[in-house]
């Protein structure tokens, strides 16, 4: 197993107004954790920008034109989402970081070389690594096909999933443990059976989507698995949900690649939510995803940062997650505390909603 962090010093240049939660200091945390990884001999890669063609696989043309039109300007896109003069270029690198991971893990897009050149696709390459973690901002999972929201411009995880399908992956799982539901990722793939979207999130909460009954549409029925959780859930609650729901569905789906929307804002110190997770809990979930990826898809795993707004908590979570994904901490103390009613209620609701689709 080989692992790389993909990030850029340019992520600090996305600058929402003073006092905004998604502040440039988050990029400074990512840079420090990435440099510590490199100082231990780890691989650190620069991202390439996403191409227009790659973005168009998940975003509408008019939307792409509108976001490109913000280049060089400070623009308020919705009550929470802003650009600064450098944000467009930085957002292209954020989406491109996940695609850089896909390039290195799956190899070249499955297109004729002349077509690749016409599309501005990267030069051909063979797989080089097994796992990657893209440290990026702005985050992406709230961005819909035609709408920026929730601090997000381009949907980084969805763009990576579409890129993986273009490179020959038959099935891709996107697992989202950000405290907020990834409405953008859900709707982009809501009727697509090639992409399993799994989300554990505080509910009811922003953005208002993610009820257990939202299970997909048409051919995509059953391929959206929402696990809405009451505020106050602990590490033990998340681990119980993972064991009862997330891991069994991943195993039945059998992905060729797992992409993780890695938001750390369910941490007990995060100012924007009401969960009680710790870095140890996130490490347990990540370790399980590593084991599942080893069993099902030859270890192929891509993580991309989403939320996480307490800087010290973000530092702890990134450091421990990197250690787990890189194999530096292969055996962590198990979390065997009993779950609360919050978890058992959620498990029951999800089992009822997905009884026609999965064995749970």
Give the global pTM.
Answer: 0.95
State pLDDT tens for residues 220-267: 999 999 999 999 999 999 999 999 999 999 999 999 999 999 999 999
Q: How far apart are the first and last CA of the chain?
A: 31
Whether the predicted pLDDT of 114 surpasses 70: no
CB atoms within 10 A of CB 355: 10
DSSP assignment of 78-129 equals: SSS-EE-TTHHHHHHHHHHHHHHHHHHHH-S-SS-HHHHHHHTPPPP-----
User: Where along the chain do its domains lie?
Assistant: 3-354
How does pLDDT run across 55-108, given as a tens digit for each residue?
999 999 999 999 999 999 999 999 999 999 999 999 999 999 999 999 999 985
Helix runs in 244-340, H state only: 247-253, 279-296, 311-325
Write out pLDDT tens, residues 184-214.
Answer: 999 999 999 999 999 999 999 999 999 999 9
By annotation, the residues acting in catalysis are 142
Fold entry, domain 3-354 = 3.40.800
């Amino acid at each position: 197993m080989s692992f790389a962090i993909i990030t850029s010093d340019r992520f600090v240049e996305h600058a929402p107004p003073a006092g905004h939660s998604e502040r440039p200091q988050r990029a400074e945390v990512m840079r420090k954790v990435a440099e510590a990884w490199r100082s231990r001999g780890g691989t650190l890669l620069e991202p390439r920008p996403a191409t227009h063609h790659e973005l168009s696989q998940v975003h509408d043309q008019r939307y792409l034109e509108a976001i490109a039109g913000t280049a060089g300007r400070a623009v308020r896109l919705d009550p929470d989402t802003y650009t600064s003069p450098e944000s467009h270029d930085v957002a292209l690198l954020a989406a491109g970081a996940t695609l850089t991971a896909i390039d290195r893990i799956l190899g070249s897009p499955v297109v004729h070389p002349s077509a690749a050149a016409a599309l501005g696709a990267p030069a051909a390459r063979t797989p080089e690594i097994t796992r990657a973690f893209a440290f990026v901002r702005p985050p992406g999972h709230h961005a819909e096909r035609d709408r920026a929201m929730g601090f997000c411009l381009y949907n980084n995880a969805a763009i990576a999933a579409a890129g993986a399908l273009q490179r020959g992956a038959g099935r891709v799982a996107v697992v989202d443990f950000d405290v907020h539901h990834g409405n953008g990722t859900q709707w982009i793939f809501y009727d697509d059976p090639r992409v399993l979207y799994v989300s554990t999130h505080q509910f009811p909460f922003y953005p208002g989507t993610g009820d257990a009954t939202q299970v997909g549409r048409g051919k995509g029925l059953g391929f959206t698995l929402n696990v809405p959780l009451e505020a106050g859930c602990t590490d033990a609650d998340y681990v119980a949900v993972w064991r009862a729901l997330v891991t069994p569905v991943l195993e039945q789906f059998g992905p060729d690649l797992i992409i993780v929307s890695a938001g750390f804002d369910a941490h007990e110190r995060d100012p924007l939510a009401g969960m009680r997770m710790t870095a140890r809990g996130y490490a347990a979930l990540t370790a399980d995803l590593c084991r599942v990826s080893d069993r099902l898809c030859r270890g192929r795993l891509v993580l991309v940062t989403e939320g996480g707004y307490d800087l010290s908590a973000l530092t702890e979570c990134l450091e421990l997650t990197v250690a787990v994904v890189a194999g530096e901490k292969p055996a962590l103390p198990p979390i065997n505390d009993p779950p609360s009613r919050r978890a058992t209620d959620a498990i029951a609701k999800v089992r009822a909603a997905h009884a026609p689709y999965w064995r749970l």
